[in-house]
Structure 1
Amino acid sequence: MRNTRDNELVDRRGAAANAKAALLQAYRAAKIAAEPTQQARQAERQAIAAAREERRAERERVKIEERERMQAEAAAREAAITAAARAEVEAREAADRDRIARVIEDEAARKAERDRRYANRKARQA
């Protein structure tokens, strides 16, 4: 009886080894059979990845262009504000100069009138 049990163990081991070898052989055969479709799927994935990268680069380029446009607009607005402020300051300074010139002219006219009256009064007294 002992002999039969050993045979069963040997038979089971052999069957397991054969099954394992058959599975490995079936896996290799399936891998070889699936290789063209796998290559096609890999090529498709690469094409999709390239298209995705191209779209990302386009989005990034558009984003950079938009940022540059916004910076240019901000610089133009800043320049316009600066020019307007400079023009306002210059206009205010010109108005101040005109007012000062008028005050000096008026003062000179009053002084001349006072001097004329003084001279007339002195002429009448003499």
Structure 2
Amino acid sequence: MKNLKELNERRAAAIEAKKLLLKKFESAPKADDPEVVAKRAEREAIVAAREARKADRDRLAKLEEERKLAETQALADAAAAEAEALAAEAKNRIARVVLDEAERKAERDRRYAARKAKQR
């Protein structure tokens, strides 16, 4: 009989718990309650503000990325121009060396020809 008594007590406790839960849900505020509407509007405002801040952060990040890309491109252009200038300077130096060698050879040949002309 002890088991039957415990079973009845547990069943009664379960029924009482279900009644309390139902009462709790019945007393809960409805969707059209002014407090619920106000809280929902507040949450929506918070979400909208959060999305606006995120959009602003994304826009700033995009601007920063574009600035860095432009800066990198400017550095690359400057490096290319510097390399081109160095290459042109090297070509100019080589041309001057070749011209100087040609002038020295022409002077040496002139002196040699003058010496030979004296000997005759």
The 10-residue stretch of structure 1 (37-46 or 8-17) with the greater mean CA deviation from structure 2: 8-17
SS in 1 for 2:115: helix
Pair 1:88 & 2:93 matched: yes
Alignment of 1:31-42 (within 5 A): 31-42=36-47
Change (3 A) 1:27 1:88: farther
Instruction: Give the whole-Å Cα distance in 2 for the aligned partners of 1:110 and 1:68.
Output: 63
**Superposed CA offset, 1:47-94 (max 9, x none):** 101110111011011101110110111111111111111111111001
One-letter identity of the residue aligned with 2:38: A
Q: TM-score, normalised by structure 1?
A: 0.74
2:67 is aligned to: 62
Q: CA deviation at 1:6?
A: 8.0
Question: Larger Cα Rg: Structure 1 or Structure 2?
Answer: 1
Question: Aligned pair count?
Answer: 111
2:50 is aligned to: 45
Q: Which has the higher contact order (CA 8 A, sep 6+)?
A: 2
2:19 is aligned to: 14
Between structures 1 and 2, the one with greater helix share:
1
Q: TM-score, normalised by structure 2?
A: 0.77
**Superposed CA offset, 1:13-44 (max 9, x none):** 3224323x247x34855654311111111110
The runs of at least 4 consecutive aligned structure 1 residues that moved more than 3 Å come to: 4-13, 26-33
* Structure 1: runs of 5+ lacking an equivalent: 116-126
